[in-house]
Amino acid sequence: MTLVAGFDSSTQSCKVLVTDLDSGQILRQGSAPHPPGTAVDPVKWWNALLASVKDAGGIEDVSAISVGGQQHGMVALDGQGNVVRDALMWNDTSSHPQVDSLTEKLGKDEWIRRTGLALLTSFTITKIRWMAENEPENAQRTEAVVLPHDYLTWRLTGGGPGNFRAEDLSTDRSDASGTAYWSGATEDYCTDLFEMALGHSAQLPRVLGPTDIAGHTAAGLPGIPEGIPIGVGGGDNALAALGLGLEIGDVGLSLGTSGTVFAPAPDPIHDPSGVISGFADATGKHLPLAATLNAARDMDVVASLLGVTHDQLAEMATTVAPGSDGLTLLPYFEGERTPALPQARASLLGMSLSNTSPAHLARATIEGMLCSQVAMLDALIDLDVPVNKVFLIGGAAKSAGVAQILPQIVSLPICLPESGEYVALGAAKQAVATLTGDFPGWRPESADLPQAEHHPIIMDQHLAGRASIYGV
């Protein structure tokens, strides 16, 4: 039996799956937490990766590995391989002024034309510009910029403080496409945009192909044998799509810490509205995507407020009619990425004596969270991205309230795959490709959600409330 391992270095933790190459069966797994916050020392991600290996019982019997990670985070390195400052993560919104200034400098349409992206605080280039303007001494020290999964792959190959070789840095198309200084149309960096943001040139990781080998594990790594081939790695959403086995016509809807909607597409996507980001996928195609900052945490905070469990919240929500009798929650608890409202906060609209109840609030919370995602799904459809079936994943996908309410908002068939760590599974598929030259055909078991009567009032209320406060 040949074994491979896939890592998922996410916002909250590092997870590893050890799987059988032929069947995809998960034989063992491990995890380790990441520290909270939106700026984190990348060394702590490395330590969590090592701890996850130990928690999984080691990987001495593994023939190949690959690492997926949270997209966009800025890891700045100096010429000796030292981390210049804590990495600014995707959910750090401090670069909002830089979004405005960079957009004004080039023009929104030109950013979309060149990179497929309308600038958001999530994207790496805005964080680089924030550092250049607010920490010029750190910007001057920066001689290379990599992303979270790039950093971990580099450490696995032996890179680190005092051992810096620019040629060892690598990334993949999916993560490069989320920087806003790489083009899906040309498949190359826009180095002039990067230098405009940082103020000078610096080393960027070479962009490898979907089945390439990034290197081999170095000697002396705790718990990790020397010489294991390392897959190219990728951004979390691209690897989730790979792990799910999404094909053209499928769309992933992920309800985790953030919410994401993404669908494989054969060609680069340029959305004039800026709602859909034209990312690349992990297989050589493209992955138009939109994301919200707020998703499962909406249910967390309201369940805590009401003093109930998630199951109880769902049960309460399903006792109320669609539209929650006019009560609408705009769930922008942490600002929002889509729509681009980084300074926004959650709003409860349409309160009356008859609908101000715990059950109505429970229903409005789930509806508000889902409507934020469906707005992105509708934007994909408006761009003629093939969308025939929705694959619902993430922690909040397990909610009975979500399972009942989402089919009332979306008319498409909705599939609920078995619960799994799909980013790590996608990374494991990449590990297989380093050995065989192709991805395995593993696909999770799944069940279709029951169809339900469509209730346009739910989405209509959400869009009307959003327009009344924010004009978008």
| 282 closest CA partner among 379, 207, 174 | 174
pLDDT at 419 over 90: no
How far does CA 57 lie from the centroid of its chain?
Answer: 28
- Summarize the confidence of residues 247-252 as an average pLDDT: 96
Model's pTM, two decimal places? 0.91
Active site residue 172: no
**Res. 459 pLDDT band, cuts 50 70 90:** very high
**Res. 323 pLDDT band, cuts 50 70 90:** very high
Output the pLDDT for position 392: 96
Output the pLDDT for position 258: 86
Output the pLDDT for position 462: 97
pLDDT tens, residue by residue, 381-397 = 999 999 999 999 988 99
pLDDT at 230 over 90: yes
Distance (Å) of CA 268 to CA 264, 276, 411? 10, 11, 26
Q: Running DSSP on this structure, what letter comes out for residue 83? A: B
Residue-range domains of the chain with CATH: 3-232 (3.30.420.40), 245-410+442-471 (3.30.420.40)
Contact 131, 139 (CB under 8 A): yes
The answer to whether the peptide bond before residue 339 is cis (omega within 30 degrees of 0) is yes
CA distance 277 to 161: 34
CA distance 337 to 275: 9
**Res. 164 pLDDT band, cuts 50 70 90:** very high
E strands in 102-181: 144-146, 170-172
State the catalytic residue, choosing from 150, 236, 271, 298: 236
pLDDT tens, residue by residue, 48-67 = 999 999 999 999 999 999 99
Non-local CB neighbours of 471 within 8 Å, separated by 6+ positions: none
Output the pLDDT for position 288: 97
**Res. 337 pLDDT band, cuts 50 70 90:** confident
**Res. 308 pLDDT band, cuts 50 70 90:** very high
pLDDT at 189 over 90: yes
Q: What percent of the chain has pLDDT over 90?
A: 94
**Res. 8 pLDDT band, cuts 50 70 90:** very high
CA distance 430 to 432: 5
Output the pLDDT for position 342: 84
Sign of the four-CA dihedral 146, 64, 228, 11 = positive
Output the pLDDT for position 257: 82
* Arithmetic mean of pLDDT over the chain: 96
pLDDT tens, residue by residue, 273-290 = 999 999 999 999 999 999
Output the pLDDT for position 166: 84
pLDDT at 165 over 90: no
Start-to-end CA distance of the chain, whole Å, equals 54
